[in-house]
Chains A and B, each alone.
Chain A
Amino acid sequence: MRGGPEAYILLGVWVISLGGMLFVPKQRRRESHVVFLFEQLVAWLLGLMVVEAGLLEYPFRELQANRTSFTFEFIAYPMIAVYYNLYYPRRRSPWTRLLYTMAFGTGITLPEIWLESHTQLIKYSGWNWYCTFVSVGLTLFGTRLFRTWFLDWAKSSSGEAEQEKAHS
């Protein structure tokens, strides 16, 4: 990886993402871990598929051996998903939740369009801004579904197992 504005942008993303970890409330750490890890595994697979299909290119990369965007998939996007879930308006109407999700989609799509036209960090080759918008919206909402399902289910199911142990 050589210098240039791209390197500083990536460094900045790492610093902001790592810094963001410090501001996750302590009582919501585990929940955020679930979201972070789940978003990583989704982004890893989808990122590989999209690059393999030739839809996206990342000319300037952290690791030459990896032609997907490691910084985005590994830390930036999972951290965005963490904050998406931290402030998710779960008591509000479905329309508010939809708007909230779309706001996050816009918040990722706009900087990406700028990066696409001004830097070598990302190049669309068969991709469109609305693909980003839709896929971000769907995967973020996916983390919400997974998080809620996992926490409900993990808390009840492993509780049963422990109770069984206590009785036996």
Chain B
Amino acid sequence: MLASWLASLSIFLVAYRCHRLPEAIIQLMATQTLTWTLSLLFVNFHLMSNPVREFPRATDSNFTFNYVFYPSINVLFSLFYPRKSKWLPTITYHVLFAFGMFAFSCAIELHTELLRYEKMEGYMRIFVFWVGLNVTRLYGNWFFKPGWRNSGGAA
């Protein structure tokens, strides 16, 4: 759990070094909306459970993964998305992230009590991770599309 916070923090340091912190913040907040809703729905309808969690009284859902870790992975995915590459590197990038997250969730499920998948098959989890990654990436594209400064309202 601590490692998740550290990993997320380091992703933000990378974003800061690349002068892309605003993008990272928007992506983070957008993904949180998604992970918050989805994790609650999955837990509520018994697709998965979180035996060990940070707020056992307040929610049955995990907090760290949904609040910082998954969102930070999505930030990483969007920041280094190969915009100008050909189709093969792009597909490899998609596969790498979706399967990477899947492998991570398998390892966590196997070695800790943080995650238990009950009625969620592997392909479904990969699909959810992949859709999540891309929905927030496209949201970031919309937010920061050229000329956004003029349409954001006067600060």
Contacts and interface: CB of A to CB of B under 8 A. Distances in A.
Interface of A: 26-31, 33-34, 37-38, 40-41, 44-45, 47-49, 51-52, 54, 63-68, 70, 74, 147-148, 150-155, 157-161, 164
Given A63-B41, A70-B40, A30 B61 contact: no
Helix, strand, loop or mixed for chain A's interface? helix
A27 B155 contact: no
Given A30-B143, A37-B32, A67-B58, A44 B67 contact: yes
Contact of B155 (A47, A48, A148): A148
Query: Chain B interface: which size bin?
Result: 35 or more
Nearest to B155: A151
A164 B40 CA distance: 43
Contact of A158 (B19, B44, B61, B155): B19
A162 B70 CA distance: 28
A68 to B, nearest CB: 6
A160 B18 CA distance: 11
A151 B23 CA distance: 12
Nearest to A152: B155
A48 B59 contact: yes
Contacts of A148: 155
Contact of A151 (B43, B44, B57, B153): B153
Contacts of A40: 29, 32-33, 36
16 contacts: A30-B143, A30-B153, A33-B26, A34-B29, A48-B63, A65-B40, A65-B60, A68-B58, A68-B59, A147-B155, A151-B152, A152-B155, A153-B22, A158-B19, A158-B23, A159-B149
Interface of B: 18-23, 25-26, 29-30, 32-33, 36-37, 40-41, 43-44, 55-61, 63, 67, 143-144, 148-149, 151-153, 155
A52 B37 contact: no
A154 B143 CA distance: 12
A37 B33 contact: yes
Contacts of A47: 58
B155 A65 contact: no
Contact of B40 (A28, A33, A37, A66): A66
Nearest to A148: B155
B75 to A, nearest CB: 13
A77 B40 CA distance: 19
Contacts of A45: 67
